Chains A and B, each alone.
Chain A
Amino acid sequence: MKKKTTRELPPVIPASPELLAKMQRLSERPPVSFEVAKAQTDLMLKGRTNENENRPEPQSGHWRKAG
């Protein structure tokens, strides 16, 4: 049986104009040096865990399978 892919699904809601404007403004900022990028990357990966962790149940309790 052919595996279903996302290409066969309906289109998604595109990014909001506000978000696109933010991304555009970020693209206009001057590029950072390798040293700055390296320091930020190391900081972001510090203490990273790869094991599964479960999110807590939302307080609203509105989770359900659609349909």
Chain B
Amino acid sequence: MAQGRLIHDSDIDPVPLLSNSTSEHEVRYPTADRRVVKKTWPGFYGQIPVWKDDRVEREPATPAEYLDRQALQNEVFGSDLRLEGVNVSERPSMIIGEPAGLPSFVVTQRFIEGADARFPKPPDARIAEFFEAHGFEAIPRSYFGWVRRADGVVVLDARGDNFVLSAEGVIPIDLQMALVPELIARSAR
């Protein structure tokens, strides 16, 4: 992939398509250096947790918040998400009502292979173990949410299809993350 610059359709199109049915990204694999390419849908930068009406909700992220989300996943879970650049496609938007020409972020990460090809998704109990081992607790009335009170890191959308049960255990691959200061434990402030 290009590095830190405008990425043209001609750079992305040769990478075989893995999926265009996820809600936040078009996914391709492999690049020349064997990485997964994730391109946000034009004009849409995923979702993040926010504190709203005394509960954790999801809201569309700004471009900066999307990048913060990627950085948080790298920092908290040791992921290797890499911002490759920005793509501005002239094709029609996949989102109804959005004009063409809106920018997308292009990020890459390594492909995490499941330990058992038949069951790449970890069961809920393994995901819960993973979070609890990293200091998180479940958030009731949230969208598959977890919070770490020590620093206010909140994860939403923590469903099985956003993790891989690898030979090294549960590995997160795509999480909706943000810092929610309202949830930092008083003793940690």
- Chain A residues proximal to chain B, CB less than 8 Å: 5-7, 9-16, 19-20, 22-23, 25-27, 29, 31-32, 34, 36-45, 48, 50, 52-58, 62-63, 65-67
Contacts and interface: CB of A to CB of B under 8 A. Distances in A.
Contacts of B112: 26
Contacts of A10: 151
Given A19-B77, A26-B110, A58-B137, A37 B72 contact: no
Contacts of B72: 6, 12
Contact of B186 (A5, A6, A9, A66): A66
B182 interface: yes
Interface in B146-186: 148-153, 159-161, 164, 166-169, 171, 178-179, 181-186
7 contacts: A13-B151, A15-B78, A23-B78, A26-B166, A31-B111, A39-B117, A41-B19
Given A36-B113, A66-B182, A23 B80 contact: yes
Given A55-B139, A55-B144, A15 B65 contact: no
B99 interface: no
B142 interface: yes
Interface residues of B, number: 66
B135 A29 contact: no
A42 to B, nearest CB: 8
Given A10-B151, A31-B111, A22 B23 contact: no
B29 A15 contact: no
Contact of B110 (A7, A27, A41, A55): A27
Interface of B: 16, 18-19, 21-23, 27, 29-30, 34, 36, 54, 64-65, 68, 72, 75-80, 110-114, 117-118, 120-121, 134-135, 137-145, 148-153, 159-161, 164, 166-169, 171, 178-179, 181-186, 189
B62 to A, nearest CB: 8
Nearest to A20: B78
Contact of A54 (B142, B152, B161, B167): B142
A55 B75 contact: no
A37 B30 contact: yes
A22 B120 contact: no
B178 A6 contact: yes
Contacts of B65: 5-6
